[in-house]
Chain A
C-alpha cells in the first residue's frame, strides 16, 4: 500500500472502513484485512498531526523568483 496518500483521503478511507465494519456483515478474514489497512491509515493521519515538511527558505526562494 502506498504511504504518500494525502491525509484527507486517508481519513475518508479510514471512516469508510469504520462505517463498513459498523454497518455490514463482515467475515473474520475481511475484518483482519480491513483492520490492517485502517491501522496504516491511522498512522498516516496521526503522522500528519505531528509532522510537516514545509521549509521557510525554499518558499522564500519560490516567492522571490
Chain B
C-alpha cells in the first residue's frame, strides 16, 4: 500500500473495504503463527447460551490501563481452556485475572482487530491488576491500617449519612429511595457529597470529599460510597493504595456499594462494610434501625410481661395472706364463740349448784336456829318459873316477918295525925289560906285565921315580934 499524497488532485482514495482488506492482509502476513500473550481479563464476557466468550484483555500499570484488546474464545475451545484453568487454579476464568494465553491475531472488516485465544497457561493466574491489589493490601497491612475502619465502633443506628455518589446515577437514586421511603418511618438524614466514581479521577475525587466530610464528621454516623453499574475497567482506581488508605483511616465507618460483584477492590476490602450494591447498603442501614427497634421492643415486652408477672404474684400473695387471715379470724371467732357458750353453760350450772348448796345450808341453819331457840325458851321459862317460886316464897316469908312491925308503926302514925296534935293544945294559923310559920310574912292589921281542936277564930295582927330565927 503506497503512501497517500495530499498534493495530488483529485485525491486518490480507497473504499473502507479496500482499506480493511489491506489491513487484514498485512496482519495475516505479519502475524503468521500463534503468540503467548500476558494480559489481564478485564471482563470475561462469557455467553453461556452460545458458549462463546469475548474477554476484554487489558494491560495496566499502577492501575492505569495501557493496552486493551477484544479477544474471542470460541465455544469449542472455551470448555477445554476453562477446564484446564480450573484444574490448576481452583478458580474458573473470571474478571480481573491476569492470564497467559496463546493467541492468533486476526482482523475482520466488520469486527476489527481481535485475538483468538487458543490455549492458556494457568500458572499466570495473578495478573498485573491482582499484583497491584496484593501490593496495596500488603502495604496497608504492613502499616497496620488495613482493618482500622472495620474496627470502628459504629453508632447503634447509622442515621446521619454522608453519601459519596453521583447525583444522577441509578445507584444513588436506588439508595435514597430505599432509605427515605422505608415502610417503618425510620428517619434518616442524608447529605450528598458529589464525586467522580469511575476512571482515574476517582482517587482524588473521593479523597477530597472524604476530607470535607471529616470537617463535619460530628454531624454524621456513616459514609456510604454508592455507584450504579459501570464496567470493571473503571474500577481499577479502587485498588489504589492512597485511596484505600484514606478509606481505612477515615474516622467514620465507610460502607461501599460500588456495584462490583465479581472481585472486591481494595477500597471495598478495607471499608467498614462492603454491601456491593447501593440497594444492599440501604437495606443494611435499615437493618440497623430494625435491630435497635427490636431491642426497644424486646425491652418493652419483657418489661410488660415481667411487670404483669410480678404484680400477679404480689396479688396472689396478698390474696393468700388475706385468705389465711380470714380463715384464722373465722377460726378464732368460732372457737371463742364455743368457749363463750360453754362458759355461759358452766356459769349457769355452777351458779345453780351454788345456790342449791347455799339453800341447803340456810335451811340447816334455820332448822338449828329454831331448835336452839325452842330450847332456850324452854330453859328461860324454866328459870322464870323457878324465879317465880322463889319470889313467892320470899315474899311470903317477908310478909310474915314484917307483919308485927307494921302494926306498931301504924299505931305511931296514928298519934301524929293533926287532930290529936290540936287536941293536945296546938293550933294552926293561916293567912289567906296559907299556913303561917313565919311572922315575917305578916303585916300589921292582917287578918289571920286560927284553927283549934274545937273550932276556928279570926284575929287582927297588932305587932310582930321577929324571932332571931
Interface residue ranges, A against B (CB under 8 Å): 7-8, 11, 14-15, 17-18, 21-22, 26, 28, 31, 35, 38, 42, 45-46, 48-52, 54, 56, 59, 62-63
Contact = CB atoms under 8 A, between A and B. Distances in A.
Contacts of B298: 18
Interface string B173-194: 0000000000011111101000
B296 A46 contact: yes
Contact of A49 (B186, B300, B310): B186
B189 A14 contact: no
Contacts of A28: 310-311, 314
B225 to A, nearest CB: 18
Nearest to A65: B215
B295 interface: yes
Contact of B160 (A8, A42, A52, A63): A52
A49 to B, nearest CB: 6
A42 B303 CA distance: 11
Interface in B261-291: 289
15 contacts: A11-B295, A18-B298, A28-B314, A31-B311, A38-B300, A38-B303, A42-B299, A48-B157, A49-B185, A49-B296, A50-B185, A51-B187, A52-B159, A52-B189, A59-B216
A8 B300 CA distance: 16
B155 A8 contact: yes
Given A7-B156, A28-B311, A54 B189 contact: yes
B16 to A, nearest CB: 54
Interface residues of B, number: 31
Given A51-B187, A56-B191, A11 B306 contact: no
Contacts of B296: 11, 14, 42, 45-46, 49
Contacts of A42: 296, 299-300
A38 B186 CA distance: 21
A61 to B, nearest CB: 10
Given A35-B307, A38-B299, 19 more contacts: A7-B156, A14-B299, A15-B295, A17-B303, A21-B303, A26-B310, A28-B311, A31-B311, A45-B296, A46-B293, A48-B157, A49-B292, A49-B296, A52-B159, A56-B191, A59-B216, A59-B219, A63-B215, A63-B216
Nearest to A51: B187
Contacts of A59: 191, 216, 219
A62 B219 CA distance: 10
A63 B188 contact: no
A42 B307 CA distance: 16
Contacts of A18: 298-299, 302-303, 306
Contacts of B187: 49-52
Contacts of B302: 18, 21-22
A6 to B, nearest CB: 10
A11 B293 CA distance: 10
A52 to B, nearest CB: 4
Nearest to B300: A42
